[in-house]
Amino acid sequence: MKRLVFKVGTATLYENGKLSKRIDNIVKLLSELNKDYEIILVSSGAVGAGYTKCPLDKSKLENKQALAAIGQPLLMKEYKKRFHNFDTTVAQVLLTAADLDSRKRTQYAKKMINVLLDNNVIPIINENDSVSVEEILFGDNDQLSAYVTYYFGADMLIMLSDIDAFYTDNPKINKNAKPIKIVKEIKDEWIKQECDPNDRFATGGIVTKLKAAKFLMERGIPMYLTNGKNLDSVKEILNNNQINGTLFLPKEGR
């Protein structure tokens, strides 16, 4: 059975500081796909969820970490409630980058993930933001989701973003920017661009997505970037190989 990792960004989950209805559609899609695929979800949004209860000043790192600690159980509650409607069991897995650094720890984590997947449980993974500082500062789980895809032996990473594709330029600034359907090589100048987080919760931006794609392409794994609002696009790529977002395709598959 194919193993898929989905990454959902804060900008997809939250709208104007509130949890968006999009989470309902994402849960429905993943529950459906869970019949034919092994599904792992990497979800951001803990800081955003915490902020809805306790609007601390997010410019301070310790406040952001506290918000993640407040928000993580709230976010899990929202997921659990919705997945329950589809008789789908979920598990919370909090990782730090170091867990995937050493071979031994990676193996332990992978074995545990395999147990969950063998039992039809969807792991919902997040960076352990309240104790780690790197990802919370920069990345919004893009890097973590690439690591999860590679180290846990998945076949593809599907990033559900607030943007529907990778463009020739930032489409929010340049109206002439064109979407690129297939990317076979990540150019150095693309990942040297400055990150431009467009949301006060989101810290990712396109650069961290390109870095994630590069990491996976070098290891023979494809990544698909599409909009978290248009989930038909996910079905179309999986069922018909039809590309409505951007497919980052390695030269040689595994």
Residue nearest to ligand ADP (CB): 9
Q: Does 123 bind ligand ADP (CB under 6 A)?
A: no
Q: Among candidates 125, 136, 130, which has minimal Cα distance to 95?
A: 125
Q: Find the largest Cα–Cα distance for the chain.
A: 48
Q: Does 244 bind ligand ADP (CB under 6 A)?
A: no
Give how far the C-alpha of residue 148 lies from the chain's centroid of Cα atoms, to the nearest Å. 10
Return d(Cα 16, Cα 84) in angstroms, integer: 26
Question: Which residues touch 189 (CB under 8 Å, ≥6 apart)?
Answer: none
Return the HEC string of 105-133. Answer: HHHHHHHHHHHHHHCCCEEEEEECCCCCC
Q: Does 204 bind ligand ADP (CB under 6 A)?
A: yes
Q: Which of 163, 213, 221, 231 binds ligand ADP (CB under 6 A)?
A: 163
Q: Does 113 bind ligand ADP (CB under 6 A)?
A: no
Q: Does 145 bind ligand ADP (CB under 6 A)?
A: no
Q: Which of 198, 211, 229, 243 binds ligand ADP (CB under 6 A)?
A: 198
Distances in Å between the Cα of 120 and the Cα atoms of 25, 36, 85, 227 are 20, 11, 15, 26
**x/- map, 169-188, ligand ADP, by CB under 6 A:** xxxx----------------
Q: Which of 5, 11, 27, 158 binds ligand ADP (CB under 6 A)?
A: 11
Number of residues that bind ligand ADP (CB under 6 A): 22
Which residue number, 202 or 237, has a Cβ lying nearer to ligand ADP? Answer: 202
Which residue number, 169 or 185, has a Cβ lying nearer to ligand ADP? Answer: 169
Q: Which of 206, 234, 237, 247 binds ligand ADP (CB under 6 A)?
A: 206
Shortest Cβ 190–ligand ADP spacing (Å): 8
Q: Does 48 bind ligand ADP (CB under 6 A)?
A: no
- For the record, the structure tokens of 105 come out as 């720890």
Q: Does 167 bind ligand ADP (CB under 6 A)?
A: yes
Return d(Cα 245, Cα 240) in angstroms, integer: 14
- For the record, the structure tokens of 179 come out as 């979407």
Which residue number, 12 or 88, has a Cβ lying nearer to ligand ADP? Answer: 12
Shortest Cβ 189–ligand ADP spacing (Å): 12
Q: Does 25 bind ligand ADP (CB under 6 A)?
A: no
Shortest Cβ 50–ligand ADP spacing (Å): 17
Q: Does 138 bind ligand ADP (CB under 6 A)?
A: no
- Which residues in this chain contact ligand ADP in the complex, by CB under 6 A? 9-12, 140, 161-163, 166-167, 169-172, 196-199, 202, 204-206
